[in-house]
Structure 1
C-alpha cells in the first residue's frame, strides 16, 4: 500500500503539535522527557521540529503523559485548519 503524500495542512498541524509539546516540556531536557516517554531523543526532536508531522498515536500519548498535557488539551490546541 502506498501512503498518499501529506497535505500542507498535515504538515502545518505537525508543526503545531511539535510546538505545543516543546512548550509543554518547558525547561526539562529532551533526554529526560524522551526517557520518560519511552522513545528515542531523536524521535522526540523530530516531532518537536515537525520533521515527523504525523507521529503514531501511542507515541503522542506517551509524550503527552511525560509532559503532563491531556489529549483533550492537545486536540483543542490543534484545531484543524479547514
Structure 2
C-alpha cells in the first residue's frame, strides 16, 4: 500500500468516526529534519566536538573584523 492510499484510508476512517483528519504526507518533514539536526548538534557539543567548519569560519571572520576595528581605534583616537 502506498503512502497516498494509506492517507486516504486513514482520512476515510477519521471521517466515519467523526475524528480529526490526519496530516497529509510530508506536512511535517522539515520539522523532523530540523529536530534531527538540532539533536545531532547537541550530541556533538556534549561529546566535546569542535564547532562545524562553516560556523567556525564565520566566527573567525567576525573576530577578525572586531580585532581590526579595535586596532584602528587605538591608532586613530577620535
Tell whether the structures are fold-level matches, with TM greater than 0.5: no
TM-score by structure 1 length? 0.27
Q: For the pair shown, which has the larger CA radius of gyration, 1 or 2?
A: 2
TM-score by structure 2 length? 0.28
